C-alpha cells in the first residue's frame, strides 16, 4: 500500500525559505505522485524527537495509565502508558530503519546527547560528513515516522489522543443485521 502525502499536511511543516519546494512542501516526482520535500521530512523528525525528549524528561511518577476504547466488533478497553510506549516506538523504529553506521550516530547524538565535536572524534568523521549524515537520518526517519502502517508516530495528536481502531480484514464483509419483526415500539409521547 502506497502512502500519499497531501498538500494540506505538508504546508505547515515546510520551511518557508526552502530552495527545493519554495515553502510548499511537495516536490514534483518524475514518476508518480508528488513527494514530500526534505525540509518536511526533517520537520516531522524534529517534532517526534522533541516529543521524545519531553517524554524522557518527565518524572517517573508523572506517567499515567490510560484506559482507551478499541472500536470494532468486540468494543474492548485496553490500558497503556502512552509516554513510555512512544519512547520505545521511537527507539525501535530508528533501530530497525537505520543501518549500523547511521544508528551509531543516531544513538550517540540524539539518544546520548553528544555534541558534534565529541561524535566526530568518537566516530572518526569530519564535520561535513557528520552533518550530512544527520540530515539523511532525519529525512529517513521522518518519512518512516509518518508513513508507518497501521499506526504512525506522526501526527502526534493522533498517536496520543486519537481513536484506536482494529485493522479491518479485507476478506470479510460485514452485513447489517436484519430488523426484528417483533420489536417492541415504545411511544414517544402520551397518547390520549
Percent of the chain exceeding pLDDT 90 equals: 35
Mean pLDDT of the chain: 80
In CATH, what number does 7-164 get? 1.20.140
The model's pLDDT over 54-96, given as tens digits with 9 standing for 90+, comes to 988 887 766 667 677 666 667 677 777 888 888 999 999 999 9
Which cell numbers in the block locate residue 146?
509518518
Pairwise CA distance, residues 90 & 110, whole Å: 11
Q: Do 81 and 63 touch, CB atoms closer than 8 A?
A: yes
Residue 85: per-residue pLDDT = 87
Mean pLDDT throughout 104-108?
A: 93
Other CB atoms within 10 Å distance of the CB of residue 84: 14
The model's pLDDT over 160-182, given as tens digits with 9 standing for 90+, comes to 776 554 555 544 455 455 555 55
Residue 178: per-residue pLDDT = 52
Query: Can you say whether residue 54 is alpha, beta or left, with left for phi > 0 and alpha for psi between -120 and 50 degrees?
Result: alpha
Q: Indicate if the pLDDT at residue 19 is higher than 90.
A: no
Give the residue ranges of DSSP H helices in the chain: 7-11, 38-57, 82-97, 100-106, 116-123, 127-147, 156-161
Structural domain spans, the chain:
7-164
* Residue the block writes with cell 524527537: 49
Amino acid at each position: 500500500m502506497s502512502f500519499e502525502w497531501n498538500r494540506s499536511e505538508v504546508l505547515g511543516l515546510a520551511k518557508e525559505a526552502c530552495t527545493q519546494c519554495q515553502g510548499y512542501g511537495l516536490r514534483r516526482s518524475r514518476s508518480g505522485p508528488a513527494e514530500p520535500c526534505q525540509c518536511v521530512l526533517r520537520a516531522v523528525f524534529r517534532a517526534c524527537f522533541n516529543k521524545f525528549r519531553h517524554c524522557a524528561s518527565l518524572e517517573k511518577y508523572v506517567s499515567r495509565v490510560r484506559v482507551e476504547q478499541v472500536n470494532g466488533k468486540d468494543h474492548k478497553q485496553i490500558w497503556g502508558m502512552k509516554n513510555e510506549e512512544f519512547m520505545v516506538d521511537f527507539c525501535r523504529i530508528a533501530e530497525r530503519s537505520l543501518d549500523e553506521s547511521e544508528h551509531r550516530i543516531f544513538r550517540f547524538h540524539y539518544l546520548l546527547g553528544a555534541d558534534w565535536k565529541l561524535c566526530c572524534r568518537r566516530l572518526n568523521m569530519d564535520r561535513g560528513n557528520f552533518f550530512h549524515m544527520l540530515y539523511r537520518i532525519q529525512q529517513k526517519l521522518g518519512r518512516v515516522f509518518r508513513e508507518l502502517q497501521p499506526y504512525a508516530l506522526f501526527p502526534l495528536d493522533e498517536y496520543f489522543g486519537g481513536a484506536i481502531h482494529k485493522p479491518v480484514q479485507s476478506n470479510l464483509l460485514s452485513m447489517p443485521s436484519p430488523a426484528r419483526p417483533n420489536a417492541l415500539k415504545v411511544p414517544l409521547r402520551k397518547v390520549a
